[in-house]
């Protein structure tokens, strides 16, 4: 791939970074910033724009159809998130890859994804407040890798760009693809709010869409 074709891909790479960043925000515990963004329509608009710029029109359509009904109070989002992910017995949605794969926290899959973070140059204690295999952290990591790729392309640093692309593939295929599809399936089934049902459907569409 030539330098020109890499440069031409920059908007696509940055849009991919935006998609995963917005998804990470959605899968974090709901806060005032998310609630306000939903109320103002900014969350749906920004995510839909990024989806369209990468050719994920089906995902953008899901979001557009649900956007008018997505705003909700913080307490309603907190109740829904807490019930699905922490309070339900048996648990309805597994937020941690180790629980999904091995049945409990901090297992081999946790250390496998953490090793990818380390290889990317991240110090977990500084970069993330959640355990490394939380779904929001894995999504944030993908956003970080796309930002790194974009930066490397701007700098003409092929080795750095290749590392980012390789780590994207490993994180996606070995971790986020199977784990994320499980989260999406369970959340779409059990969510009581339009926002979380829609978020689940968009995540599924992104992971099953054209290869990153």
Dist CA 152 CA 68 (whole Å): 38
In percent, how much of the chain has pLDDT > 70?
Answer: 90
pTM of the model: 0.92
* Spatial separation of the C-alpha atoms in residues 119 and 164, rounded to whole Å: 10
Query: What is the structure's pLDDT at 107?
Result: 67
Do the beta carbons of residue 138 and residue 179 sit within 8 Å? yes
Model confidence at 135: pLDDT above 70: yes
Task: Tell me what pLDDT residue 102 has.
Answer: 66
Which single residue is written with the structure tokens 């597994």?
94
**What pLDDT band is residue 130 in, cutting at 50, 70 and 90?**
confident
Kindly report the average pLDDT of the chain as a whole number. 90
Residues 109 and 97: beta-carbon distance below 8 Å: yes
Tell me the pLDDT tens digit for each residue of 41-59.
Answer: 999 999 999 999 999 999 9
168-203 pLDDT, tens per residue? 999 898 889 999 999 999 999 999 999 999 999 999
Task: Calculate the CA dihedral of residues 40, 191, 84, 76 and round it to 10 degrees.
Answer: 40
What is each CA distance from 62 to 44, 174, 204, in whole angstroms? 10, 26, 11
């Amino acid at each position: 791939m030539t330098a020109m074709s890499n440069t031409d891909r920059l908007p696509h790479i940055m849009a991919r970074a935006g998609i995963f960043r917005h998804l990470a925000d959605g899968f974090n515990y709901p806060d005032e910033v998310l609630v306000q963004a939903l109320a103002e329509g900014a969350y749906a608009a920004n995510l839909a724009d990024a989806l369209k710029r990468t050719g994920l029109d089906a995902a953008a359509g899901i979001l557009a159809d649900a956007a008018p009904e997505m705003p909700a109070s913080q307490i309603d989002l907190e109740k829904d998130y807490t019930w699905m992910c922490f309070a339900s017995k048996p648990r309805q949605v597994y937020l941690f890859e180790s629980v999904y794969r091995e049945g409990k926290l901090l297992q081999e899959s946790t250390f496998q994804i953490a090793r990818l973070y380390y290889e990317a140059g991240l110090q977990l204690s500084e970069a993330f407040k959640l355990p490394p295999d939380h779904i929001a952290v894995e999504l944030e990591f993908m956003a970080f890798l796309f930002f790194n790729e974009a930066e490397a392309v701007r700098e003409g640093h092929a080795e750095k760009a290749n590392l980012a692309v390789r780590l994207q593939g490993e994180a996606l295929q070995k971790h986020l693809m199977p784990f994320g599809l499980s989260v999406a399936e369970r959340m779409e089934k059990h969510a009581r709010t339009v926002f979380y049902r829609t978020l689940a459907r968009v995540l599924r569409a992104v992971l099953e869409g054209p290869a990153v």
